[in-house]
Amino acid sequence: MAEVVDVRAKVLAANEEAAARLRGTFRAGGALVLNLISSPGSGKTTLLEATVKALAGRLRLAGIEGDVATERDADRLRAMGIPAVQILTGGACHLDARQVRRAIDEAAFPAFDVLFIENVGNLICPTSYDLGEDFKVALLSVAEGDDKPFKYPAIFSRAAVTVITKADLLPHVSFDLAAVRGQLATLAPSGAVLVTSAKTGEGIGEWCALLEARLAAKRKAGT
Amino acid sequence: MAAITILTIRGPRRPQRCIIRYSFAVGRALGVGAATPTARAGGALHELSIAQEIYRASRAAVAGHGSGRLERVTVAVGELSAVEPDLLVFAWQALTQGGPDAAAALEVEWRPARQFCAACDADRPRSPGSWLRLCPQCGAPLAVSGGDELDVLQVTFLPDEAAGERGGAHG
Ligand SMILES: Nc1nc2c(ncn2[C@@H]2O[C@H](COP(=O)(O)OP(=O)(O)OP(=O)(O)O)[C@@H](O)[C@H]2O)c(=O)[nH]1
Ligand SMILES: [Mg+2]
Ligand SMILES: [Zn+2]
């Protein structure tokens, strides 16, 4: 005879426990942690490279790179002079908190002020997995089209910051910036929107100022 | 640390309460993941990883009560959980096929989000697929509640003979 067990558990309970522990670790260390999410090629790693350059000597940075295959993105960050570790998901479309925990333990980073977690290029799956970050950052390059926030509302409504990238390409593509701002205002009324170009440096200063302000706010709240 | 609460156990044993902890290690030890994701669409891949978590939680629940084959697993999927019920069921089938739990059915209870406009004093459902949190009538922000569920509700399993004889050794 069959037995019936009433289970009342979140499907992602194991991930959420791991994320909560990570969040505690990051809080204790006084570090700001960002989870960067976008479709492949939106310019996540390039933005990080520009950020490292702009913040050189001001903040201690570290990176965790999630990809299905290759160490390429971690190599790019190391080439910029910051400690970085690559998580190879071997097919999985997102990072989960247990992988991040393992990566942190293995990497034994020197003390850092800001940790960037670059998720696997994907606008859907990473959205559901908390990595213990302070907030999610969604990136949208102008070449991807101006209908994306409404087409991928889960990520754009959960990201505290949306970075529009590759603004230098605006003259070459039809991308209605005002329309995108309107969609984002609807999905994430309290979210910040930045327009950047890693190529021309547009908006990079504003982005770095945001990082410094959020880090200062976190440390102030923690004392 | 979150725990899975087993509320009641119906069947050959008397109803009782006990708490079992969900452990990721249990899932790993079970070697879940016979169906290795290959070149699937992003959406289905997402549901596959969700199905793996459901399988782990289900197996952990069975392990807390003996051993046996899964017969039915019931989950709640909210409208705003970014999980597509049909894809989840396909992923479940792909995951369990060829294994001891191949006959296990995954039942999905759909949980819509409730969206209420205080200005109109009325529920204002969104059009399908829309995430707009503004009232379509008056434009005021909607109060959204529920719809983000992604829970394992119930696990039904057929105990092994041996497990039946060990009855009562747990809890
Ligand atoms: N014109 C222009 N090109 C850019 C900019 N930022 C990035 N790119 C280019 O876009 C391509 C992809 O950039 P990446 O930084 O590798 O993108 P990613 O999001 O890290 O990609 P994945 O990690 O594969 O998901 C590269 O060829 C970059 O040179 C920019 O601001 N302007
Ligand atoms: Mg990259
Ligand atoms: Zn209204």
- Residues B59-102 pLDDT 10s: 999 999 999 999 999 999 998 888 899 999 999 999 999 999 99
- Closest residue in B to A184 (Cα–Cα): B132
Q: Do B24 and A14 touch (CB under 8 A)?
A: yes
Q: Which atom of ligand 1 is nearest to the CA of A200?
A: 31
- Residues A36-50 pLDDT 10s: 999 999 999 999 999
The span from the CA of A85 to the CA of A191, in Å, is 29
What domains lie within chain B, and their CATH numbers? 3-112+147-166 (3.30.2320.50), 113-146 (no CATH)
**Is the pLDDT score of B39 beyond 70?**
no
Q: Which chain A residues have a beta carbon less than 8 Å from that of B19? A: none
Q: Which chain B residues have a beta carbon less than 8 Å from that of A119? A: none
Tokens encoding A192:
């910040």
Q: Which of A16, A91, A124 sits opposite B37 (nearest CB)?
A: A91
C-alpha dist (Å) from residue B165 to A1, A4, B12, B61, B67:
13, 17, 11, 19, 11
| Alpha carbon B122 to its chain's center | 31
Q: Where are the domains of chain A?
A: 7-221
pLDDT for res B107: 97
Residues 6+ apart with CB under 8 A from A209: none
Instruction: Provide the CATH number for the domain formed by A7-221 in this structure.
Output: 3.40.50.300
- Residues B52-71 pLDDT 10s: 999 999 999 999 999 999 99
Q: Which atom of ligand 1 is nearest to the CA of A38?
A: 19
Range list of H helices, A30-96: 44-55, 72-79
Say whether B8 sits in a helix, a strand or coil.
strand
The question of ipTM being above 0.95 is answered as no
What is the Cα Rg of chain A in Å? 18
pLDDT for res B34: 31
- Residues A152-202 pLDDT 10s: 888 998 999 999 999 999 999 999 999 999 999 988 989 999 999 999 999
**Is the pLDDT score of B170 beyond 60?**
no
The span from the CA of B36 to the CA of A100, in Å, is 21
Tokens encoding B121:
């004093």
- Residue B38 in contact with residue A91, Cβ under 8 Å? yes
- Residues A56-107 pLDDT 10s: 999 999 999 999 999 999 999 999 999 999 999 887 889 999 999 999 999 9
C-alpha dist (Å) from residue B91 to A135, B40, B54, B87:
30, 10, 11, 6
Residues with CB under 6 A from ligand 1: A 38, 40-46, 73, 121, 165-166, 168-169, 197-199
